[in-house]
Amino acid sequence: MITLLESATWHNGHVDGVIRDIRRPVPDDGLLSGAILRMGDPDAGPVVAMSIEGRIFPRKAPVHLHKSDSFRMALGEPIRVGGTSYAHGEFRLQRADAFYGPEYWSDEVGTNQLLLMADRRGLKPYLTDAQLQRLADTALADDVSLEGVAMLPRDADVPHAIANSFGAALRPSHFDAGFTDTTGWSTLRDGSRLAAVALGHRESGVLLLCWDRPPGAAALPAFRLGADLVRLVVEGSCRIDDPDGAGGSAQGPDGSTDEPDGRTSRSANRTSGSADRTSGVIGGPSGVELGRLGFRLQQEGTWHGASRSGPAGSKELWIVADRRAWPPLTTAGPPEGPLAEVNVKVAALTSQLAAAA
């Protein structure tokens, strides 16, 4: 189940948003302006934070490690980790139990990233300096977003592993990739390029699907997935049809139906009103268009509408909370076309992880 820090009204098991710089005026359009969310397993599932906001970390965040594999991607302006600068859409996969950093942040740019911890219990940073560790522990104790999360101790055994479909090697504890160069990704029959990444628990961890879909790529059918899904447009746009025709349920994550204030209706998905490039959602009578940094959060077991790439194509990141739930089910049964080709990549990752165990 996806749970959000802020209130949201769900429609047919999903809610839409666009990652906007919240330091600027945000229109009251019914869209989320970024999100901090828990997904998947209620105790050890992933946590995702995606935002553009004021600086929330020290200007120089010290070297540290986490008891979880992690993924981070720059949003808008570049971010810097260690000696590497990551442009918009470039990302870093970091192995659990390995020191990295420092990270550099500025007041001008703020905090502008998507950060995923494959196991929310590994969010606590472990530092090399005892005094800094005490400060970090105090900050964590005061963080209401971590309420109810039992952090893993420093000596905990973490059965995590990272694997990918495009041959990137950990060096020694991370690798870099991104949407800025997709030439090394697998080419699907419709001309799309795909990269698949597994991280977290060897059996039940997170699946990342990175899509580079050209204009005119084959449409993806409506589907239902047995795991929570985050879908983010990094560049371009995609059109997602209304799922009602696929037999979707109108229930929210708590089993409730549409709220009486009507905000669950598709008419609530208006343009974001922002004039910058982070405008990301345009509603219509039969679906929604997600533009750059537009996103959808989809609850497990609910129908996701059919979708197609926009006139400039679409580069998208999909986060599947538990890779065991792949493949999804379509109205016609097992998936065909691009979704079926994904199955081959996911099966190869599973075999790769099993062989390395």
Q: What is the largest CA-CA distance in the chain?
A: 59
Q: Where exactly are the structural domains of the chain?
A: 3-146, 163-356
One fold for 3-146 and 163-356: yes
Least Cα distance to 295 among 90, 91, 75 occurs for 75
Task: Please name the amino acid found at residue 247.
Answer: G
Torsion of CA 125, 126, 132, 138, to 10 degrees: 50
DSSP string of 176-220, one letter each residue:
EEETT--TTSEEPTTS-EEEEEEESBTTT-EEEEEEEE-TTPPPB
- Render each residue's pLDDT in the chain as its tens digit; 357 residues: 999 988 899 999 999 999 999 999 998 888 999 999 999 999 999 999 999 999 988 899 999 999 999 999 999 999 999 999 999 999 999 999 999 999 999 999 999 999 999 999 999 999 999 999 999 999 888 887 788 999 999 999 999 999 999 999 999 999 999 999 999 999 999 999 999 999 999 999 999 999 999 999 999 999 999 999 999 999 999 999 998 655 444 344 444 443 323 333 232 333 333 333 445 777 666 899 999 999 999 999 999 999 999 999 999 999 999 999 999 999 999 999 999 999 999 999 999 998 887
Q: Does the CA dihedral 284-287-293-296 come out positive or negative?
A: positive
Measure the CA–CA gap between 272 and 18, rounded to whole angstroms. 8
CA angle 206, 301, 37 (to 5 degrees): 50
- Per-residue DSSP letter, 121: G
Measure the CA–CA gap between 277 and 76, rounded to whole angstroms. 9
Measure the CA–CA gap between 36 and 2, rounded to whole angstroms. 10
- CATH code for the part of the protein at 3-146: 2.60.120.10
Element (H, E) at 3: strand 3-4
Distance of CA 323 to the CA centre of its chain: 14
- CATH code for the part of the protein at 163-356: 2.60.120.10
* pTM attached to this predicted model: 0.90
